[in-house]
Each structure stands twice: as C-alpha cells, then as structure tokens.
Amino acid sequence: GAKAEAARGSNARGPLLHELHEEWKWAGREAHEMFFPIFDLILPGFSSLKEEDKEKHPFVKLNPLYYAAWVPTLLMLAAGKYLHEIMFDQGQPVRDDEKPAEKEARVAWIYMNDATYAFSALLDIWQLATDVAFWHFHGAFGCLLGLVLYIAIILGNAAFFEAMRARSSIRVRQAIVANAGFAVVLCGALVVVGLKKGYAILRWSWFMRAVAVFFQALSLLTYVHLWNLYPTATKEGGGSAIPVGATAVPGVLVIALTSIAFAVDAPAVWEALG
C-alpha cells in the first residue's frame, strides 16, 4: 500500500544496502504489475492467481522475452523514482491515501518517462560539452534544444506530481491539458513527416518515434481518470468554478512552444524524442 511504499521512500531508515534492496524489490514488483494486466487478458486463469503466484507462472518465470522487457522496465522505474526523490522529494506516493489512478500516473508515466528523458539529457550534456571542447559547433543548437525539451518535460511532470499531492483540481487539469497539447503537436508533426517522406518513413528510427508519440497519447487514458478525482468549488447555482481559460492556458502554451521548436529545428526535436 501507499504507507508501506512511503516507508521505503525518502524517510526510510536503516543500512544503505537494505534500503537499496528494498528499492529494487519495489521496482521489480511494479515492473511486474505493469505487464500482468496484459497477461490477465491473454493467459487463461492468470487473472485469478495471487500476485506472488503470477511471478512464478512458467510464462513469466521461464520466458526470456518477458525478462528482456521486464529488466529495462525495472531499471527505468528505479532510476525515475530515484531522480524524483533526490530532485523533488517525490520518491513516495503522492499521499497516504493515494488512489489507483494517481499511482499509475506517478509510476507508469512520470517515473518511467522521466528516467528516459534524464538519461537523454545527460547524453546531450556530454555531447554538447564534447562539441564545445573540440570547437565542433555543428549540431550544438540541436543538443541545446533537446536539453531544454527534456528539462521542461521533467519539471512539468514534477509539477504534475505536486498537483496530485495537493489534490488541486485546477492544477491537475492544467497538467492533463498540457500533456494533451504535447500529444496533439507530436501527432500533427508525425503526419507532416509522413506526408513529406512517404514510404521513406518506414524505417526503424521513425518507428521508434511513432511509438513515442503513441505512448504520449496513451498516457491520456490514465490521466483522464484524474480529471474529476478531486473536489472543485462550484458556482452559485451549480457548475464548476474552475475557469475554462485557466485550464486551457498550459495546453495552448505547450502547443505554441512545441510548434516553434519544430519550426526552428524539427530534426533535433525528433532526435530528442527517439
């Protein structure tokens, strides 16, 4: 539960190795839980098993393909949790009474995605430092643009986490709209690339970018459950007191800024996304 996980978070006490062991156990368990719903649908009787029995199921325990997906997921979850812990004190549930939708948003989307973005940002910093050291400035602007994009996404996700922690309906809705705006721009940009390149887009690099766009849109299926999760003030006579304009502003800004980034250096933005 949320209380048990919080105890393993920033307030955990005990030897360092014990804490690390507990964090890895948490990441491994969460990685399993991200895949098990799929197996619930495709494996007869799997959904009726207890959690520990699912981990011992032959399709899981003896399946190298499963572990090829599970291990990277475990690593990204652990890295994302650690990133948010040391930078934002967000290595624990949003609250003791964390809801399932909040946990899914925190673990499956915020931790997972930000681990990838942080690693990519480090690579960009290294590339930028190398280019400057050797006076190779070709591509430096693209690195800077990608770095700004990564930092903006990570900070946005940290703000999203805090909005859930505060049970702020307007801030959570703003975060959802901002993510939706980002997904809209990515989908539009991918369509434009497809129209320009035609069959040339059928390459592995563009497939991976399409996957990134797909998952950005897929995250909205989780976030939509947060839309009405928190209490909102009501106007006299009924209706929400949250201004539509205030909710829409982050989405408009994200669409505008991301569109400008694509206009300035589209290859750099796509490179940043995959």
pLDDT digits 0-9 by tens, 14-62: 566 777 788 889 999 999 999 999 999 999 999 999 988 999 999 998 9
CB atoms closer than 10 angstroms to residue 141:
13
Residue of higher predicted confidence among 225 and 128: 225
Q: What is the Cα–Cα distance from 60 to 70, expressed in whole angstroms? A: 10
- Average pLDDT of the segment spanning 140-147: 78
- Average pLDDT of the segment spanning 248-252: 90
Residue in 96, 212, 113 with CA at minimum distance from that of residue 160: 113
Give per-residue pLDDT as tens, 78-120.
999 999 999 999 999 999 999 999 999 999 999 999 999 999 8
Angle at 173 between CA 3 and CA 33, to 5 degrees: 40
Q: Which residue has the tokens 């940043």?
A: 272
Kindly write down the DSSP assignment for every residue of 192-252, as one continuous string.
Answer: HHHHHHGGGG-SHHHHHHHHHHHHHHHHHHHHGGGTTSS---B-TTSSB-S-HHHHHHHHH
Plot region of 239 (φ>0 → left; ψ -120 to 50 → alpha; else → beta): left
Residue of higher predicted confidence among 28 and 6: 28
Mean pLDDT computed over every residue of the chain: 85
Chain mean position to CA 227: 17
Give per-residue pLDDT as tens, 161-178.
999 999 999 999 999 999
Which pair of structure tokens corresponds to residue 221? 């299926």
Residue of higher predicted confidence among 155 and 145: 155
- Average pLDDT of the segment spanning 243-253: 84
Kindly list the distances between the CA atom of residue 167 and the CA atoms of 154, 161, 170, 182, 231, in Å, as whole numbers in the listed order.
20, 10, 9, 23, 8
Plot region of 162 (φ>0 → left; ψ -120 to 50 → alpha; else → beta): alpha
What does pTM read for this prediction? Answer: 0.83
Band of the pLDDT at 12, cuts 50, 70, 90? very low
Residue in 144, 88, 159, 154 with CA at minimum distance from that of residue 119: 154
Helix and strand counts by DSSP (H, E) for the chain: 11, 0
